[in-house]
Amino acid sequence: MSTQIIEAQAGNITEEMSFIAQKEEVSEEFVRQKVADGRIVILKNNQRKNCIPVAVGEGMSVKINANIGTSNERSTLEQELDKVRVIEQTGADVLMDLSTGKDIDEVRRKIIASTTLPIGTVPMYQAGKEALDEHHNIAKLSKDKLFSDIEKQCRDGVDFITVHCGVTKFVIEQLERQGRVTGIVSRGGAMLACWIKATGMENPLYANYDELLDIARTYDVTLSLGDGLRPGCGADAGDRAQVAETIVLGELVKRAKKAGVQAMVEGPGHVPMNKIPSMIKTIKELTDFAPLYVLGPLVTDIAPGYDHITAAIGGTLAGMHGADFLCYVTPAEHLGLPNSKQVREGILASKIAAHAADVARGYEKAIEADKQMSIARKNLDWTKQKEYAIDKSVFNGINCEKDGAPCTMCGDYCSMKIFKEYF
């Protein structure tokens, strides 16, 4: 079965490419060429009927992902479906189901059926959890069980999967030699590292990568090559283990393109601001300029409860220098599972960061939106301001027809009203 990248490399423009070109206001040929080169991925499982495709990569607007998912300790399917509604209303582009609670298959299928957004998963979470539940030992996880869960999730309709293929024996050796402040903070990465240490065998996702490519190609599922060794604090940013894994991911990107499979790369993590520009550029170069999906990056480690802000700061800088996809961070990061209110706050912070990055990158739609908002403010046009605002709810209750201001002390409002009287 064909994929977006196979069609693009053959010179064909698919229905999804046409849709993306219209939405992003670029030419169809631009989209086709970038997909062919592996610099854009189109997130849409070819078996999923209710998905509106989203493009991530070079020349596209910076996209936002929001994570949800059940756990054994907290949250239910109903709570997670409520978060899906919040995610749609707040305007995230994509969501990931990271469930580790009960009935993972049912939760995933209900979430897929409930939204038109592209959906991602981390199959290792389900495979690892079920191995631990059954055997109380991650080393008992079999390659067949892991790949069976991967195929099942792809067959269910997930549009992209995070797979920590770069956590190899060699990379783990680098980690052990150097040491780290926070070790491994990626759940999937930690599971695989422990599996490697316990069994003495190579990561099955790396050792059997061709089989993984066969599954992804069948469903046109995009591989999100996970950063299992991402830095969990600023002190670990850019260390030997992170770089070693990134080099492996670059190799795997090229193999995916050759096999007709779409692939993007996941990146850090916790990174001090001064290191972000060079780190993003290095990752892009090492991974053949594949679309880059980053968590944050969080620019400081001492703001628990406010990490949506530290991530937005880093996300803007990362996006400005080439990151294409921001994973939201909520105020509950490092504290616990987010509630719906915190999900909304995390999305809004990431959307602000993504838009600021789009402006810095010269993305015309973003620049024009800022200009139109400025014109609306000058004209005291509250209706238009609401239209262009990232969070439209802040304008609720303003009497636009009577040109009412939310506060008579608003400096911009008062100044512009005076200015209009004389100019």
What is the structure's pLDDT at 396? 84
Q: What are phi and psi of 97, to 5 degrees?
A: -100, 110
Whether the predicted pLDDT of 422 surpasses 80: no
**111: Cβ contacts below 8 Å, ≥ 6 apart:** 68, 80, 81, 84, 95, 97, 119
What is the structure's pLDDT at 414? 63
What is the structure's pLDDT at 404? 52
What is the structure's pLDDT at 412? 63
Please name which of 330, 295, 338 lies closest in space to residue 314, comparing C-alpha atoms: 295
Q: List the domains of the chain with CATH numbers.
A: 45-52+59-362 (3.20.20.540), 365-422 (no CATH)
For 188, how many CA atoms within 13 A lie in the half-sphere containing its CB?
28
Please report which confidence band the pLDDT of residue 41 belongs to, taking 50, 70 and 90 as the band edges.
very high
Whether the predicted pLDDT of 61 surpasses 70: yes
Q: What is the pLDDT of residues 158-215, one digit of tens each?
A: 999 999 999 999 999 999 999 899 999 999 999 999 999 999 999 999 999 999 999 9
Classify the C-alpha dihedral 106-109-113-118 as positive or negative.
Answer: positive
Please report which confidence band the pLDDT of residue 322 belongs to, taking 50, 70 and 90 as the band edges.
very high
Give percent of the chain with pLDDT exceeding 70. 94
Give percent of the chain with pLDDT exceeding 90. 89
Mean pLDDT of 151-160: 98
Q: What is the CA radius of gyration of the chain?
A: 22
Please report which confidence band the pLDDT of residue 73 belongs to, taking 50, 70 and 90 as the band edges.
confident
What is the structure's pLDDT at 397? 73
End-to-end CA distance of the chain: 64
